Amino acid sequence: MPAIAQESKSTVEKKAKKKKRTAKKSQTGAGSERKFRSCKQAKAAGAAPLRRGQPGYSKSLDRDGDGIACEN
């Protein structure tokens, strides 16, 4: 029985570590580019306005094509 308990503990620890890494990435944006479906989303995340070259910038969010998305 102790072998099964040890295996369960190991599995639980691995899941906890993975969850912690995922949470850290989502807070910092590290390892993945931010993407927004709308300017409303970008503004809610505190990322607007977005400039060309910044994570999260997309031509679809830049209505006038000046390189600055979600400026209004």
20-35 per-position pLDDT tens digit: 554 444 444 444 578 9
The whole-chain average pLDDT of the chain stands at 77
Question: How much is the pLDDT for 13?
Answer: 77
Question: How much is the pLDDT for 10?
Answer: 72
Query: How far are the Cα atoms of 35, 63, 65 from residue 68, in angstroms, in the given order?
Result: 15, 9, 7
- Choose between 27 and 68: higher pLDDT: 68
To the nearest whole percent, how much of the chain has pLDDT over 70?
62
User: pTM for this one?
Assistant: 0.53
Domain boundary assignment for the chain = 2-27+34-69
- Choose between 18 and 30: higher pLDDT: 18
